[in-house]
Amino acid sequence: MFLQGDLQAVFDALYTIGAIDPVLKMDWEQVTNEMAENPQLVIQAMEVVNSCHGDQKLLVQKLHMMDTRAVNYIAMEVAREFVEFQDRSCLH
């Protein structure tokens, strides 16, 4: 499952709750492995974020209610999707 909609709104919500800086300092491989062991948590987190349809205020509210690991994974996924988008943009 992928994040859908306005990635900038998701990033802004993550930044608002202070989730970006700590994730940048983490070992992403370790967190990715942990999330692979908990796919249901990942799916549920993505569904919650996607259900907000880019509403930043709602995203902030929902992110505050989530498990820290799920928030970290969402932050990593936003970063990955931004990088993939940038790579596709550079190719064209």
Task: Output the pTM of the full model.
Answer: 0.86
**Does residue 2 sit within a domain?**
no
> For the chain, how many residues are written?
92
Print pLDDT tens along the chain (92 aa): 678 888 999 999 999 999 999 998 999 899 889 989 999 999 999 999 999 999 999 999 999 999 999 999 999 999 888 777 777 766 55
Structural domain span for residue 31: 7-91
DSSP H helical segments within the chain, as ranges?
7-16, 20-24, 28-36, 39-51, 56-65, 68-91
Task: Look at residues 79, 75, 77, 69 and name the one whose alpha carbon lies nearest to residue 34.
Answer: 69
Residue 64 falls inside a structural domain = yes
Greatest CA separation for the chain: 39
Is 57 part of a structural domain of the chain?
yes
Contact between residue 64 and residue 17 where contact means Cβ atoms under 8 Å apart: yes
Counted domains in the chain: 1
Residue 1, domain member (yes or no) = no
The predicted pLDDT at position 19 comes to: 95
**Which pLDDT value is given to residue 5?**
83
Q: What is each CA distance from 73 to 5, 21, 77, 91, in whole angstroms?
A: 17, 13, 6, 27
Return the pLDDT at 28.
Answer: 87
